[in-house]
Amino acid sequence: MRIDLRNQLAEGMDNLQAWRSRYSKSEYGEKVLLNVFYRKYSTFFMWDKIQNSFNGNVLWNDFNIGFREMMNLYQNQAVQTQPILLQLLSEKSNNPVGSVTYAGFSDKIRGAKQGKNDDIEEIEFTYLHYLLNDQLILMWSAFGGTGLSKIDALAQMSGVIIAETDMSEYGKVENIIGQLCTGPYLHENYNPLPPL
């Protein structure tokens, strides 16, 4: 993969360490998953803006400028997502956000509350995976704003050229980037935290 994610992975690990200190063992897993879905809903709500960077026009001449712009858009969206997150998770827990549902983690949340370290470690890995994946989606969009097509932007990030495919839905893009970028990166660089 051509994108260096060391800083993002370190940030994620630092967040997990801070939350381990802040929350009790019984609430920790659920709090981490709340953060996963906070990020995912924020990305989902700005999906049209992400897609608009692939309109064929050059929106910025430098990837870094574009990435900062996308991060600013994300941060503004996150402020709007935060007050409605719990309601969304309560009323729409079975609705996919990208390619996953909050309800799909109910067994892991239950296991984490009971202190099952395998479930806690899986939740932590899930957090890191989607943290990196959603950051990579913003990077993909930033490359799009430099005038690259969706496929060329993905190739710029991953070093892999794929056949033309529909990349208009969050879940599809999430899966493609997860397979080509996030998964391989974590496979080489992820080390689980010690058990709680």
* Residue 150 domain-assigned (yes or no): yes
Residue 67 CB neighbour total at 10 angstroms: 18
Alpha carbons 66 and 64: distance in angstroms, whole number: 5
Provide, rounded to the nearest whole percent, the portion of the chain with pLDDT above 70: 99
pLDDT value, residue 72: 98
pLDDT value, residue 2: 77
As given in the structure block, the two tokens for residue 79 are 């402020």
Q: Could you list the residue range(s) of the whole structural domain that residue 10 is in? A: 6-189
Taking residues 79-101, report their average pLDDT: 97
pLDDT classification of 38: cutoffs 50, 70, 90? very high
* Residue 195 domain-assigned (yes or no): no
How distant is the alpha carbon of residue 40 from its chain centre?
6
* Verdict on whether the full-model pTM lies above 0.75: yes
- Which residue, 45, 65, 31, is CA-closest to 139? 65
pLDDT value, residue 1: 61
117-126 per-position pLDDT tens digit:
999 999 999 9
- Write down the residue that tokens 């935060």 correspond to: 82
* Residue 107 domain-assigned (yes or no): yes
* Residue 196 domain-assigned (yes or no): no
> Given a cut of 90, is residue 58 above it in pLDDT?
yes
102-117 per-position pLDDT tens digit:
999 999 999 999 999 9
Return all residues near 174 (Cβ < 8 A) that are at least 6 apart.
Answer: 98, 99, 133, 134, 137
As given in the structure block, the two tokens for residue 55 are 């309109």
* Residue 90 domain-assigned (yes or no): yes
Q: What share of the chain is helix, strand, coil (3-state, %, to 5)?
A: 70, 0, 25
* Residue 1 domain-assigned (yes or no): no
* Residue 194 domain-assigned (yes or no): no
Taking residues 65-86, report their average pLDDT: 98
138-153 per-position pLDDT tens digit:
999 999 999 999 999 9
Alpha carbons 120 and 11: distance in angstroms, whole number: 18
Confirm if 123 and 129 have CB atoms less than 8 A apart. Answer: no
Alpha carbons 44 and 137: distance in angstroms, whole number: 11
Domains contained in the chain, number? 1
Confirm if 133 and 170 have CB atoms less than 8 A apart. Answer: no
As given in the structure block, the two tokens for residue 94 are 């079975």
* Residue 99 domain-assigned (yes or no): yes
